[in-house]
Structure 1
Amino acid sequence: MNTSGTQIGRTTIAVAVAAAALSWTPAFAQSSVTLYGAVDDALTYVNNQKGHSNVYLRQGNLYASKFGLQGKEDLGGGTLAIFDLQNGFDLNTGALSSSGLMFNRQAYVGLQNARVGTLTAGRQYTPYYMFVGPLTGSSWLTGATGAHPGDIDGLDTTVRINNSLVYTSPSWGGLQASAMYAFGGIAGSTGLGQTYSGALRYLNGPITLALGYLRMDNAQRTTGFDPSSTGSFGVSALNTGYASANAVQHIAAAGNYTLGNLVLGLSYSNVEYQAGGHSLFHSTAVFNTYAALASYRFTPAFDVGAGVAYTAASKANGISSAARYAQYSLKEAYHLSKRTTLYALQAYQHASGQTLGSAGAGNIVDAAPSVGDSQNGTPSSTHAQFVGMFGIATLF
């Protein structure tokens, strides 16, 4: 049998199919997928972690160590299909930041239109954080040492919401709005464990203002903050006694004023831990935080920042001397390039008064300091805690 003609025919068909496939390439010219991320590590000294000083490597300080895939496709008419898949990791061990979660930081898909706005679905940061957080110490001074004590108000990246829809408007004369709703998804009671958030932001010349609201309901089918809830938050020595709250509510406002190379900022937040049937405490606990910051760029390569934050808890659940936390933070950054930075961080926090321990009501303990968002699991055994870091961070 003569197979040469057949082979030639198959080759011709294959070439034709390949040519046809290549001819469609221009239709996708406006589509892109970008790999991005940050790698960050620092030599860290803490004077007291549960009674002992420590020198160690700590990753994710200036920037959270992460990588992600971000994509968009031009659908025509000014509309884009977008997605973002972002994973955090521990640079010093290679482990995932959250065990069992591949894309623990964000994972969403949606549509974006410059005239109509953006609608996304998935695991996302809240409008509360996205609008207010960038104006506070967690952004200007880093979350590790510049976030408010124990990140009690969730203005660092500790709060992420599952099963959520987020709509963000275009900007109208400098004013922009965003809203979120997250479905509890529990059969027979879809509102159980729901989350909702809203925020406004106004930008006019040197002034940026933001106001945000967040409420996370506890599915509360178990003691503690039920993992089937759509929301979750960081637990530290400040709020460990209230981690079983029926609902957690955040309200925050912040403003920045830019004058040449100088940025000044003020912020206020109010956080409520509301008791429920499965809570280990019996009355609402309130934490109010007042903060100020300043950042100055001496040269294009060198900038410094400083901040002070004061958190006051309410008298509740048998506490007569409510907890107080005063924190002072500094940051120095030298930019070797647009992507790579050497940095130094220092922060000191003093705590006084009393709060609830992890056992809840009846477990009244002395308030323990927990600097920024870096020592949530390692508070000081005394009333003071100091953290110093020297590190390097690079973006890609």
Structure 2
Amino acid sequence: MSISDRRHGRALAASSGWLVGMALFAVTSDASAQSTVQLYGIVDDALTFATNANGGRAWAQTSGVGQSDRWGLRAVEPLGNGWRAVMRLENGFTLNDGRFSQGGLEFGRQAFVGLANDRLGTLTFGRQYDFMSTNLTQFAAGTLTPSVFAFHLGDLDRLGAERLDNSVRYVTPTLGGLQFGALYAFGGQPGNFVANSAVALGATYAHGAFSAGAAYVGIHNYTAAFGIGTTVLGTRLVGTGPQGLLSPFQVFDKLSVSGIGAGYQWGPAFLHGLFTLVDFRQKGASAALRTAEGGVKYSMTHALSLAGSYAYSKLGPAHWNQFVAGIDYALSKRTDIYCNTVLLRASNGVRAQLFTLPASTSDSQTVVSIGMRHLF
């Protein structure tokens, strides 16, 4: 995950006028080039209570608990002979203070342009998701509960939507329910083609009530920003800063992540499960973090749903048990309210640390959230 702060001040100063200008541009381009430009977004906020964050109870108003706050522009322009030009610019922000997310990047969530064809697939260039999130997050408790705290340790398995800069991404058309994808991210370091580069592969399958996905990503010179409450290969990954950030961030020679997940819609119940493997490499040594998760989301009515899941993670002698429960009620097609609880219990000697929270001073940590989400 990028944590740089490019163009932050300039974007904040000009954001209002820039947004109006882009809206006018969207209307003009739609009329002249017969393209479709859409403004969209999500606004989400919650009240949260954590039992132990840096040794104390924490009450907070937290942005993006159910789903990260964002606004974006996406465009499609027909080019003829089945070809389309596509683009997306997506900004993340924190509702309670109006700041940019993703380390202050103007379009930190997504920024890409490319070509699409129904017979040949889609090729895009820019800052994009790898396939861990696009192919597997629909089987994860963090998405289904919904709660950002329900994603796994430090989101090291990248289910919470991590991105890669300078990437070229290709996705095939869907044939017989199958779709494949590949991505390469250029490192951009002169004289060293491999440094800071990444390779990702993915596949999805859907047939009737059954769906499945698989993904892999390998990242050279990976920077770990979020803590997990323990030490890995002699590197201390205990995040005590705001939002559970490490101080300072830690760099590994390589991080390889792979996963497989599946779901089945059985009447009103969606049964889901996944397994992820995170492999750390540092100075010739390696360590593996394995996580298995299973759960169910049950639709009581068209508006009311319940969700519950359990995840078990293991890294060397350390292990974690994570329990998640939530309730979601749709006030309309675009607005819902939710309440959820996430409990993480670590083995002795390991400090519990839920994703985006400062580490606990004990082996357990619980967070309760009550929030509202609106889509536009």
Instruction: Quickly name the TM-score band, shorter chain normalised.
Output: 0.7 to 0.9
Given that residues 137 and 148 in structure 1 are in contact (C-alpha distance below 8 angstroms), is that contact kept between their aligned partners in structure 2? no
1:168 equivalenced with 2:171 (yes/no): yes
Given that residues 270 and 287 in structure 1 are in contact (C-alpha distance below 8 angstroms), is that contact kept between their aligned partners in structure 2? yes
* 2:350 counterpart letter in structure 1: A
TM-score, length of structure 1 as denominator length: 0.81
Among candidates 86, 93, 96, match of residue 97 of structure 2: 93
* 1:209 counterpart letter in structure 2: A
Report how far residue 100 of structure 1 moved.
3.9
Matching residue of 2:353: 370
Matching residue of 1:17: none
User: 1:132-188 deviations in whole A, cap 9, x for unaligned?
Assistant: 22222222123513212332311112x210000000001110011011001111111
Among candidates 141, 145, 170, match of residue 145 of structure 2: 141
* 1:111 counterpart letter in structure 2: L
- Which whole-Å CA distance do the structure 1 matches of 2:71 and 2:218 have between them? 29
1:207 equivalenced with 2:216 (yes/no): no
CA gap of 1:160–1:233, structure 2 versus 1, over 3 A, is farther
Matching residue of 1:291: 293
- Which whole-Å CA distance do the structure 2 matches of 1:154 and 1:259 have between them? 27
Alignment of 1:326-345 (within 5 A): 326-345=321-340
CA gap of 1:137–1:39, structure 2 versus 1, over 3 A, is same
* 2:99 counterpart letter in structure 1: A
- Which whole-Å CA distance do the structure 2 matches of 1:131 and 1:25 have between them? 31
Matching residue of 1:319: none
* 2:307 counterpart letter in structure 1: G
Matching residue of 1:359: none
1:71 equivalenced with 2:75 (yes/no): yes
- Which whole-Å CA distance do the structure 1 matches of 2:186 and 2:258 have between them? 21
1:246 is paired with a residue whose SS is strand
CA gap of 1:35–1:60, structure 2 versus 1, over 3 A, is same
RMSD: 1.8
- Which whole-Å CA distance do the structure 2 matches of 1:25 and 1:113 have between them? 20
1:139 is paired with a residue whose SS is helix
Report how far residue 96 of structure 1 moved.
0.8
Aligned residue pairs total 333
- Which whole-Å CA distance do the structure 1 matches of 2:350 and 2:331 have between them? 40
Report how far residue 369 of structure 1 moved.
1.2
TM-score, length of structure 2 as denominator length: 0.85
Report how far residue 191 of structure 1 moved.
2.1
- Which whole-Å CA distance do the structure 1 matches of 2:188 and 2:271 have between them? 42
Report how far residue 283 of structure 1 moved.
2.4
Given that residues 227 and 353 in structure 2 are in contact (C-alpha distance below 8 angstroms), is that contact kept between their aligned partners in structure 1? no
Alignment of 1:267-306 (within 5 A): 267-276=274-283, 283-306=285-308
- Which whole-Å CA distance do the structure 1 matches of 2:340 and 2:371 have between them? 9
Among candidates 22, 33, 44, match of residue 28 of structure 1: 33
Given that residues 38 and 395 in structure 1 are in contact (C-alpha distance below 8 angstroms), is that contact kept between their aligned partners in structure 2? yes
- Which whole-Å CA distance do the structure 2 matches of 1:99 and 1:215 have between them? 22
* 1:389 counterpart letter in structure 2: S
Percent sequence identity over matched residues? Answer: 31
> Which structure has greater strand proportion?
2
Gaps of 5+ in 1: 1-23, 219-224, 227-231, 277-281, 315-321, 354-365
